[in-house]
Structure 1
């Protein structure tokens, strides 16, 4: 018997193949179609075809129940294709709206028909510069008057390029009892007459630029900031918004944060505004993600007692996972000592993620890092500049790590050494310059008992 004749085996295989391969398999027979069709139809991206190439309504009637993710759904015609009763299991939906009544009506139907499964929704306006969706159209979209709790299971929402009265936004939040992540960009909210600013305690993460949060309506400087809706906010991402003035002041932002969202512990600010936010607005942060080019290192020390995660990038560029060495000049090389001082002072640091920094190993040899509980390190080291050197270093670290599974690193900066219990020896922090760079970096890595993930310029190794 051919093993592929077993439905259980085909179903298992379907989880690990690409949609294009699954599409070929689904054409083999009716039995194969049953097992591979869910993979083929799991994600539907309407950007891949125009109105003429869109699947027929009959196709949606037959396979619509397999669809879980819909991307770039725009134009009333394409939305009308999802009016089939078979399309009722969507978990993620991206709507690109125009201001037509048909578009709003079809969008409302799709949302209402999938409300029991929807966990993520993006509503994006496709308008000319300066235009926004009018309030009554948005009211149709969020389901006012439909009698169906459209967003009752929603955990993630994105709003972009829209316009609405604050009352509509507040009502929408009231319909999102389990919303956790909210992303808002280029959206104007006009206060108008608002009876109640609904608070959504479930929202833990907010991604919106400073003007969006603190100055939503350019014509109304007295408007209550967006933070008023989120009393339990833990993470705030400012995006890449560069200019603060004349919208508000850091002093006023601090007042609003303390009043409405005092529990913020994580800040992501990849802009020049990070200096004022770290120094004047937020207190006792546990996680910081800032731009490596713009960061002012003393700002980090302002949170040294509570800091656990530090990430520094070049905007949103991903610098990881490559076969060749990540060869890029360190534009902040002259301030390298500040990085070692940060690692020395922040005793609670668990993640140090700085792929753009090239560290001098002499720094931690002279001033051993105080973050004994370090778990992840992403950083390059001087002279460790080829894939061969990096891989050799990480291989030695992994092998020696296995020999001391119970090691506990206790940094003694006054004596210039590290005592590792369970290894039965002392490792001198001051090594000879002539010693191979690989040995010196391995010695540094072995100081941290909890260190499990290391990136030194190529790929991430896990111990």
Structure 2
């Protein structure tokens, strides 16, 4: 007698695999088949807890929460004290992602810190924001991230977002020391209060930072000569500056690593000089520009402080040999100034720049076409100077095209009119 083929869903290994891909709704239905199915399909139900969507967990009771807390890996939108209680009752000790909106009360902070201590050995992504600007006596406690009970556990945290909090400078250094695997830090609107003395711990893995100019160069307005936060990030590669106005003035003493350079009274110059201190590692550099800038040919009115020191932008390609991306779409730069300095960034790939005199679509289009023709000629020749065919042409279009042809890897270009992208 031929044996009936086995239902694939009765194979535990296959059922466990399928459970990873079903929706929460289907997983709930599957848990009602039998106990064996429940053991596998309960995981996707509890894997992600989003308190904006799951509002009835509080009514399940502590026993049920403790039973399934072991499956929780992602927790989103912790905003109420009742949300904190649910996570604490569940004894969830293996979450990898946690997002919380902190309420400025001592009771909320205590429960939140208890959750951090419970999960600090497994968290990989932590996003903390404050519902309102914190009171002057409420500081984020770094101690909550330390392993409890003296356990020697290395933090797995690689991405940290702290918005609208307060932390001391010593606490900030301790935070970096505690998280050796951290590669991304977003600290928008977070205030770093200076200590009289602090240990400027350097984090050699963090390469992506989101922070305003004010935060980096003047972290504590009450201590204007405090060292820049850049001293903590020697391996920084990508610094994203949220849209905001530049600070009125910044002391170069607060930025320079040795602190013995002269003072400057213009923020644009200070920022650029600070970036050149990282010239041996800097790969991407850019100035502020509106997100919708490239959707139209219309360019917003340039502020005086941007125009006054546009020439200083050239310090970046002149000094930063590893630069692959230079984005400066709101600065007018003169071609005479460009030709006077040697750009060391020969691996430049992306360039967004405005050149004085290239002020019509016709001029820009001719410049781009000369650049493309030069590239084609260079490919046919195999070596030499692609700009040789326009060597006698003294027009601004030809001068700009000759400059662009130095960069063999340049494939994305913006000269105000439109973004041009070519295949290498």
Output the TM-score relative to the length of structure 1: 0.62
Q: Report the counterpart of residue 173 of structure 1 in structure 2.
A: 176
SS in 2 for 1:109: helix
Q: How does 1:163-242 map to 2 (within 5 A)?
A: 163-242=166-245
SS in 1 for 2:220: coil
Q: Distance in 1 between matches of 2:52 and 2:328?
A: 32
Which one of 271, 274, 290 corresponds to residue 253 of structure 1? 271
Q: Report the counterpart of residue 123 of structure 2 in structure 1.
A: 118
Contact 2:65 2:90 in 1 (8 A): no
Q: Distance in 2 between matches of 1:370 and 1:95?
A: 57
- Residues 40 and 311 of structure 1, relative CA distance in 2, 3 Å threshold: farther
Structure with a larger share of its residues in strand: 1
SS in 2 for 1:16: coil
Contact 1:124 1:159 in 2 (8 A): yes
Q: 1:66 offset after TM fit, Å?
A: 1.3
Contact 2:250 2:270 in 1 (8 A): no
- Residues 35 and 257 of structure 1, relative CA distance in 2, 3 Å threshold: same
Q: Report the counterpart of residue 141 of structure 2 in structure 1.
A: 138
Q: Distance in 2 between matches of 1:371 and 1:287?
A: 21
Q: 1:260 offset after TM fit, Å?
A: 6.6
Q: How does 1:308-457 map to 2 (within 5 A)?
A: 308-310=348-350, 334=360, 366-368=373-375, 413=386
Deviation digits for residues 343-366 of structure 1, max 9, x if unmatched? xxxxxxxxxxxxxxxxx8x56663
Q: Distance in 2 between matches of 1:61 and 1:257?
A: 50
Q: Distance in 2 between matches of 1:276 and 1:29?
A: 73
- Residues 135 and 221 of structure 1, relative CA distance in 2, 3 Å threshold: same
- Residues 29 and 123 of structure 1, relative CA distance in 2, 3 Å threshold: same
Deviation digits for residues 316-346 of structure 1, max 9, x if unmatched? xxxxxxxxxxxxxxxx9945865896xxxxx
Q: 1:98 offset after TM fit, Å?
A: 1.9
- Residues 251 and 413 of structure 1, relative CA distance in 2, 3 Å threshold: closer
Output the TM-score relative to the length of structure 2: 0.67
- Residues 305 and 167 of structure 1, relative CA distance in 2, 3 Å threshold: closer
Q: Report the counterpart of residue 46 of structure 1 in structure 2.
A: 51
- Residues 2 and 311 of structure 1, relative CA distance in 2, 3 Å threshold: farther
Q: Number of paired residues? A: 349
Q: Report the counterpart of residue 262 of structure 2 in structure 1.
A: none
- Residues 150 and 291 of structure 1, relative CA distance in 2, 3 Å threshold: farther
Structure with a larger share of its residues in helix: 2
Q: Distance in 1 between matches of 2:29 and 2:192?
A: 48
Instruction: Give RMSD over aligned pairs.
Output: 4.3
Contact 1:208 1:239 in 2 (8 A): yes
- Residues 286 and 236 of structure 1, relative CA distance in 2, 3 Å threshold: same
Runs of at least 5 residues in structure 1 that lack an aligned partner in the other structure: 313-331, 342-359, 373-406, 417-447, 452-461
Contact 2:117 2:145 in 1 (8 A): no
